[in-house]
Amino acid sequence: MLCTFPCPTVVHERDNIAVLRTHLVEGHQCLDAWLSMSRLVTEPHQRRDCLERASVLAPADQDILESYLDAVLVVEPTNKAAQDRLNEIHTMRLLSEVKPTHFHTPPQQAKLLGDILVETGAITPAELREVLRAQNNGTPITTDRRMGQLLLRQGLITPSKLAHALIVQQQERSRLRIAPQVLGEFLVEQGHITPEQLELALAEQLRLDQKGHRLSLGQILVRLKVISAAVVERAVNEHQRVFWAKYGY
């Protein structure tokens, strides 16, 4: 599940790495948690990985991208692509009033959720522009999750259509190898469930969220009798082991 920003789970636990880790392992794609983790980890490569995942969740945030590129250069000081991209950002800031005629091609990125919804006919371009103008507590929308929530709240989209768009987005991120791997993706990769079953579970999770009933993806899958609780528990443990091995835990 994609979290709001700021995330209610993280807001009082920003310095508790155990809570942040559990929140992410449970399958939450949480910008707030990744940013907090990036401040807490001690190894340069861990900070780079955290900021990489944050930049995927907020691709329009230039400050996060700049922090990520800085972290890349700490680990890989000879990374010319990262240095060029960082120089580009600095130049664009200096020339903020001038439209540049040429810059290096930015790294390939997965499509944003709004673009996928328009392409699949779930919403119109006008509806996308309207929801992108919406603000929450004075903070512009910068995450797909907040946009999805607004679309649901305004009745412009159904949980099923949003779940389908999320699956399309996750599959593209997996193909490009730029997405943080969450439990649902891990279950699909391991052959425990199909993408169609994951889509069904996400739609049910979104419907329950609308009613104020928050269940984890694993609970939803068991409830739908797609997978057993024992398989979910083993998958969670294996996913956690593989996931956090990258961070030295």
Q: Is residue 245 part of a domain?
A: yes
Closest by alpha carbon to 57, among 20, 112, 132? 112
Q: End of a domain among 137, 155, 176?
A: 176
Does one domain contain both 188 and 239? yes
pLDDT digits (tens, 9 = 90+) for 127-183: 888 777 764 444 444 444 567 777 888 888 888 888 888 888 777 766 665 544 567
Structural domain span for residue 220: 180-249
2 touches 163 (CB < 8 A):
no
- What pLDDT does residue 140 have? 45
Structure tokens at 121: 């006919």
Which residue, 153, 157, 155, 188, is CA-closest to 170? 188
Q: Which of 47-51, 85-89, 175-179 has the highest mean pLDDT?
A: 47-51
Q: What is the pLDDT of residues 22-45, one digit of tens each?
A: 888 888 888 889 999 999 998 999
Q: Which residues contact 115 (CB under 8 A, 6 or more apart)?
A: none
In the predicted structure, residue 93 carries a pLDDT above the cut 80: no
The Cα–Cα gap between 141 and 145 comes to 9
With tokens 């990036």, the residue in question is 38
What integer pLDDT is reported at residue 100 of this predicted model?
41
Please list, in sequence order, all residues whose beta carbon lies within 8 angstroms of the beta carbon of residue 221, skipping any fewer than 6 positions away: 187, 193, 197, 201, 227, 232
Peptide bond just before 6 cis, omega within 30 deg: yes
Instruction: Express each pLDDT in 105-120 by its tens digit.
Output: 445 566 788 888 888 8
Residue 112: how many CA atoms within 13 Å on its side-chain side?
17
Of 154, 176, 198, the one marking the end of a domain is 176
Query: Is residue 139 situated within a structural domain?
Result: yes
Give the chain's mean pLDDT. Answer: 78
